[in-house]
Amino acid sequence: MTQSAAQPTVPLQHRRMSPEDAVRSVRAFADQMASRRSVRDFSTDPVPETVIETAVRAAASAPSGANIQPWRFVVVTSPQHKRRLRLAAEAEEREFYRRRAGAEWLDAIAPIGTDWRKPFLETAPAVIVVFEVHRGPNTPKPYYVKESVGIAVGILLAALHHAGLATLAHTPSPMRFLNRVCDRPPEERPYLVIPVGYPATDARVPDLSRKPLSEVMVRR
């Protein structure tokens, strides 16, 4: 938001680090984030409610276009709701894999080894369904919604990983059924489904690599 005379201000809370501390700190963060992997096999062990709540608080501190904060985080933990979520998602995904997905898309996801079955939507103790919040009877027109919600979700995934929890970014296609399952109004548009929990003891993940820094970063 641009500052105007009418906009009250407060002193910025900022702790300046020495360059050495900054390097140490950002390295520790980068190393920790590099150990994050998408998990598709969850233990049914419960997760502390406060951890999820606090991770959502971290996500909700994200910057957003005009500070509209156009996000809703629906935390689904009841077995009945998780079952409804799984059944509805699998119905969409079955259609997607059989008919809607083009050959190119199926080729791209083949190495991940996923199919229409989504048991993690029931086994994970919590599933966070993230919605974009658009203009509605009680909500203003947002700006840069995708960018804003994307940043919030990035912080959410980082916070949950930081707390030792595993996550998956899941995008059933199409996603409108999530309004029905989560009982959300039409101005809220599904963005991402995030199962959260501890990995199953025998969980395995695809052997993937990251692009080297030299490929993703350029200097001018």
Ligand X SMILES: Cc1cc2nc3c(=O)[nH]c(=O)nc-3n(C[C@H](O)[C@H](O)[C@H](O)COP(=O)(O)O)c2cc1C
**Rule CB under 6 A: is residue 37 a binding residue for ligand X?**
yes
Rg of the chain (C-alpha set): 19
Per CB under 6 A, which region of 10-18, 50-58, 131-139, 168-176 contacts ligand X?
Answer: 168-176
Helices H / strands E in the chain, number of each: 8, 4
User: What residues contact 54, with CB distance under 8 A and at least 6 apart?
Assistant: 159, 163
Is 170 a binder of ligand X (CB under 6 A)?
yes
Nearest-CB residue for ligand X: 38
Q: How many residues bind ligand X, per CB under 6 A?
A: 11
**Distance between CA 157 and CA 74 in Å, rounded?**
15
Q: Which two tokens stand for residue 35?
A: 């150990």
217 binds ligand X (CB under 6 A): no
169 binding ligand X? (CB under 6 A):
yes
Residue nearer to ligand X on the CB measure, 66 or 151: 151
Q: How far is the CB of 104 from ligand X (least distance, A)?
A: 16
Residue 40 interacts with ligand X (CB under 6 A): yes or no: yes
The phi and psi torsions of 114 (rounded to 5 degrees) equal -90, 160
CA angle 181, 93, 74 (to 5 degrees): 30
Is 208 a residue that touches ligand X (CB under 6 A)?
yes
DSSP codes joined into one string, 99-142:
IIS-HHHHHHHGGGT--S--THHHHSSEEEEEEEE-SBTTBPPP
114 forms part of the interface with ligand X (CB under 6 A): yes
184 lies in the site for ligand X, by CB under 6 A:
no
- CB of 175 closer than 8 Å to CB of 91: no
Q: Which of residues 122-151 bind ligand X (CB under 6 A)?
A: none
Contact 130, 192 (CB under 8 A): yes
Q: Is 165 exposed, middle or buried (0-12, 13-18, 19+ CB in 10 A)?
A: buried
Stretch that binds ligand X, among 43-51, 162-170, 180-188, 194-202 (CB under 6 A): 162-170
CB under 6 A: which stretch of 25-33, 73-81, 134-142, 167-175 binds ligand X?
A: 167-175
Instruction: Kindly state whether residue 61 participates in binding ligand X, applying the rule CB under 6 A.
Output: no
Q: Which stretch binds ligand X (CB under 6 A): 9-17, 32-40, 79-87, 158-166?
A: 32-40
Question: Going by C-beta distance under 8 Å and a sequence separation of 6 or more, which residues neighbour residue 162?
Answer: 32
**Nearest CB to ligand X, comparing residues 94 and 135:** 94
| Region 83-112 residues binding ligand X, contact defined as CB under 6 A | 112
Contacting residues toward ligand X, per CB under 6 A: 37-38, 40, 112, 114, 168-171, 205, 208
